[in-house]
Structure 1
Amino acid sequence: MSLEKKGLGIILHSGSYDRLHHGISIALAALALNRDVKLFFTYWALEYLKRKESPVFKLDGEAKEHKDILEKNIERAHLQKVSDLITQMNVMGAKLYACTSSMALLNISRDELIEEVDKSMGITKFLTESVSDQILFI
């Protein structure tokens, strides 16, 4: 059985810290294993790509019930901020894409996005560029 090195495409939809952090952790692990990684930020995940506004520690669903514990333990564990993780991914070679449809819906212009964003594109273009990659939706 030959192990073919596939790229990894991750679609980040949620603005919830736990989901975003796990998606970025998976991306960083794949980069460390020398895989090509592309991340597509759509809807509320786009908030983490904006220059001026850093999202408040936001949790949805099940994680929301444990917000106090998570906030305290994140601080105690000295986990990096999402913005620092995005910079780290960029340095390691990840490609970051912003969803043009979500940008229009949320009234976000291209010049509002951080410099680490490689392109803005629609989902069809992202899937075309990721045709041979493993795709995760988080």
Structure 2
Amino acid sequence: MKGPEGGLSLIVRSGDYESVHYALALASAALAINRPAILFFTLGGIRALLGPPATLDDWDRDELMRQRGIGDFETLLQACVELGARFIVCEMGLRALGIDRAQLRRDVPFTVAGIVTLLDETKPGMHLLTL
């Protein structure tokens, strides 16, 4: 069982490729060393869960990452799913953008909830970061 020490709660609020890619890289790294990871997608970050394919700004960088031997978006996303990341999609963010939860990816096990849930699930010893 993963203890909260060194775990991460990541607020993914930007829809740019770099921010979402790095959030997935951080979460998958934490999970790989047996630390919990929570990914809280809100506002522009929610666009990463539309699709597939995701609709992120600067999407052409994904191919460059693959060419350079760096985990691409899909690889990192699936690693987070398989390693047990907790995915939360912000209810307020969905409403603000006019996105219905049915538009989100079905291969990512997410819960629609709010900031209170994120804060409640970010246990003492976990780091809360915004990307």
Mark yes or no: TM-score above 0.5. Answer: yes
Q: Does 1:98 align with 2:89?
A: yes
Q: Structure 2 regions of 5+ residues with no counterpart? A: none
Give the match for residue 131 of structure 1: 123
Q: Which has the larger radius of gyration?
A: 1
Instruction: Summarize the Cα distance change of 1:81–1:74 in structure 2 as closer, same or farther, 3 Å threshold.
Output: closer
Structure 2 counterpart SS, 1:38: strand
Give the match for residue 43 of structure 2: 43
Contact 2:65–2:72 under 8 Å retained in 1:
no
Give the match for residue 62 of structure 1: none
Q: Does 1:29 align with 2:29?
A: yes
TM-score (norm 1): 0.78
Q: Structure 1 regions of 5+ residues with no counterpart? A: 60-66
Instruction: Summarize the Cα distance change of 1:107–1:34 in structure 2 as closer, same or farther, 3 Å threshold.
Output: same
Contact 1:99–1:121 under 8 Å retained in 2:
yes
The count of corresponding residues between Structure 1 and Structure 2 is 126
Structure 2 counterpart SS, 1:24: helix
Structure 2 counterpart SS, 1:91: helix
Q: Where do residues 47-126 of structure 1 align in structure 2 (5 Å cutoff)?
A: 47-52=47-52, 54-58=54-58, 73-115=64-106, 116-126=108-118
Structure 1 counterpart SS, 2:5: coil
One-letter code aligned to 1:137: T
Contact 1:48–1:83 under 8 Å retained in 2:
no
Contact 1:103–1:109 under 8 Å retained in 2:
yes
